[in-house]
Amino acid sequence: MHIRTLLFSLVAASLMAADRVGAAEGRVSPVVAPSLSKRPRPLEDLEVAATLEVADFGAQPDDGRNDLPAVRRAVERVRQSGMPARIVFGRGRYIFDIDVDEDLIARALKASVVLYKMEGVVFDGAGAEIVIRRPRLGFVTVLGCRNVIIRDFTVDWDPPPFAQGFIRGVHLQEGTFTFGPEGGYLSLDHPNWKLAPPQRIGPSRWGVIMDPKVPGRLKSDAINVVFYSGWEKGSGGTYRIAVKNRRALEDMEPGDRYIQVDRNGAGLVHITKSQRVTCINITSFTSPGLNYGGADCSEVAVLNCRVLLKPGRWHTSNADGLHFQRHRIGPWIEGCTFEGMSDDGANLYTPPAICLEVLSPRRFRVSQAAGWQPDDRLLAFNPREGRCVGRARVVSIERDRRAKTTVLVTDRDVVGIHAGAEKTADCFFNLGMNSSNFVIRNNTFRNIRRFGVLIQSRDGIVENNRFGWTSSNGVMVRNSVDWPEGFPSGNLVIRGNTFQGCGFDHTLQAADAAVIACAVKRLGGQLARWRALDRIAIEGNTIRGWRRRGILVACAENVRIADNRLLTDSPPPPGFRHRPPVPIQLVNVRNVDVTGNTIQDPRPNAASVVVQEEPCLEVRVWDNPVLP
């Protein structure tokens, strides 16, 4: 029997068996659809009482002089006045240049311009081009503000804050490779590389093997990150770089393009403890860190902004395009383009508060609780098994600043908590600060390392976006339990998006690898047993060129997968050449409808439509045509 026919028979049998189980237990019910919360439109304009031109404070375009002190004087004048105002630049090139270690503001925040405790401000480039001369210096930080618009700038760094060049040799026995950098980028002799990494977990520096022909794209079927331990200068301007994982060397060949990033710097726009902040019509070509992001905010929007590759460059930014944590109302991202970055296109989440000590069934000492408020909803999570320990609400929090911990008081008993100081301990997620109620619409994410969009949140929509050649999943809904960060719980709509060529790096080996994936993980990268995700609609998407899986849904209830088109003739990844690629896979789900999906996959060992792994209950599959 042909393998395709055999698989179809097995799948059909498992579907009928699952439906019979659900019917026998009396649990068959209609899928409950997502119901998204209403939220206000983004802030797009402001009425102001005054307009200040930076030229009046000494910032003159195109004169080659440092304009940053003058721009700061204009900002400080508005801050001291306390009135709504527009700070206007004008067309031309402005230079931002200041010593990060000597300047008080830059040393504290690594930012060129800081908008601090201001309300009703429009920071208006009016077509200005900003050139930042220091590789650790960010563009704008918004701190403790309300009703702020940043608009109409073009921003670049000179030199770009990364190294770019070619792999000249691979030395497996020594665990090294030879790197020949191109001129005009951050030299490996620059003191930046000698600074201590700033990140609290994990390394902040790595390299990426690039596609030999397409700028911004990673090399296919290769590891998506190269961690290194150091380097020595060689002859002819080359460097011998020692890797931490020799597996990376197996994916390298002389002549490969290579990018090495440093994340000791700030980002393009960093927003913290602020409400209703919008970035409009900003074009940038690189960034030392993330492009847009921050924490403890609400109603941040990024509209019609672009992160673009400059001709000759093979990379844009050293971190995410969008990175938002602990937002009470999540971001609104619309009409933007993100390409060529060395980390996710977007990441939405709240970090966990690890339970350090159980004081009583309603009192817990936790690692952090920044921004938590009484009545916030909490989820207690066991990361070892991937299950819910309990739910509660915050009654009060008592910060111990000396110990840098917080005593959390809940409104009900939470029993069975396993305390500890490591990520293996149970933790609390604040669902009221989970960057939920987000909108990601009409954007382009292309040639990005890792995920196009990583959703570790709930209650939002990913609609009418274009995803092209993201090295891992196009859309990933999950908890990053081993990192750790974030928790998703559902109420999501993924609709009308197009995907091309997504998922081609070594993460295809992962349990949650797919172009669109929704899953819950436990420590060690395995799927959880708990069906934590509820109410997910994956509808009307077009997925082209998928390799291992098109759509994966695991650990979920109330799911509708409908009217998607999954079309491919791409070769399967090397590790899966003898295993069938799967258009739609379900693992540990309940109450799922799969209907109206069109499948076209001429590969001889392709599975038909849906493959299930136990336990799956109440799964209904009908009217999913398979084209020749």
CB atoms within 10 A of CB 352: 27
Examine residue 442 and state whether it is found in any structural domain, yes or no. no
> Which helix H or strand E contains 534, and what residues bound it?
strand 533-539
Q: Return the higher-pLDDT residue of 508 and 302.
A: 302
Indicate whether 312 and 360 sit together in one domain.
no
Q: Is the pLDDT of residue 14 over 90?
A: no
What pLDDT is attached to residue 10? Answer: 37
Task: State mean pLDDT over 3-14.
Answer: 39
In a domain, 126, yes or no: yes
The answer to whether position 358 is within a domain reads yes
Are 87 and 232 found together in one domain?
A: no
Q: Are strands 176-181 and 162-171 parallel, antiparallel or unpaired?
A: antiparallel
On whether both 505 and 590 belong to a single domain, the answer is yes
Backbone phi, psi, residue 3, to 5°: -60, -35
Q: How confident is the model at residue 1 (pLDDT cuts 50, 70, 90)?
A: very low
Query: Does one domain contain both 153 and 182?
Result: no
Task: Give yes or no for residue 15 having a pLDDT over 90.
Answer: no
Q: Give per-residue pLDDT as tens, 421-471.
A: 999 999 999 999 999 999 999 999 999 999 999 999 999 999 999 999 999
Pick the last residue of a domain from 260, 276, 296. 260
Q: How far apart are CA 478 and CA 510, in angstroms?
A: 13
Residues 241-245: contacts with CB within 8 Å, 24+ apart?
A: 241/176, 241/177, 241/178, 241/179, 241/207, 242/174, 242/175, 242/176, 243/175, 243/176, 243/177
- Both tokens of 459, joined, read 């209650």
Domain, as residue range, for 542: 3-30+452-627
pLDDT tens digit sequence for 181-202: 999 999 999 998 988 776 544 5
Same domain, 256 and 269: no
The b/e string for 248-273 (b: 16+ C-beta within 10 A; e otherwise) is bbebbeeebbbbbbbbbbbbbbbbbb
Q: Tell whether 41 is covered by a domain.
A: no
Query: Which residue, 231, 260, 289, sits at the end of a domain?
Result: 260
Question: What pLDDT, on a 0 to 100 scale, did the predictor assign at position 593?
Answer: 98
Examine the domain organization and report whether 424 and 468 are in the same domain. Answer: no
> What was the pLDDT predicted at 578?
67
In terms of pLDDT, which residue wins out, 381 or 580?
381
Q: What is the pLDDT at residue 412?
A: 98
Task: Clarify whether residues 242 and 295 are in a common domain.
Answer: no
| Whether residue 307 sits in one domain with residue 322 | yes
Same domain flag for 423 and 391? yes
Q: Which range is least confidently modeled, 6-20, 90-104, 460-474?
A: 6-20
In a domain, 329, yes or no: yes
Please state whether the predicted TM-score (pTM) of the whole model is above 0.75. yes
Which segments of 61-108 are extended strands (E)? 85-88, 92-96
CATH number of residue 269's parent domain? 2.160.20.10
CA distances from 21 to 15, 27, 49, 442, 595 (A): 10, 9, 68, 41, 20
269 plus 155 within the same structural domain: yes
On whether residue 437 sits in a domain, the answer given is no
Residue at 591 is within a domain: yes
What is the arithmetic mean of pLDDT over 468-497? Answer: 96
Q: What does each C-alpha distance from 249 to 37, 174, 196, 218, 318 come to in angstroms?
A: 48, 10, 25, 15, 22
Each residue's pLDDT tens digit, 587-609? 999 999 999 999 999 888 887 78
Judge if 491 and 513 occupy the same domain. Answer: yes
Q: What is the CB neighbour count within 10 angstroms for residue 569?
A: 11
Compute CA 565 distance to the chain's CA centroid, rounded to the nearest angstrom.
25
Of the candidates 348, 300, 335, the one whose C-alpha atom is nearest the C-alpha of residue 148 is 300
| Bridge partners, residue 164, by sequence | 259
As for how many domains the chain has, the answer is 4
Q: Which of 379, 398, 430 is the last residue of a domain?
A: 430
Residue 366 lies in a domain: yes
pLDDT above 90 for 295: yes
Residue 538 shares a structural domain with residue 552: yes
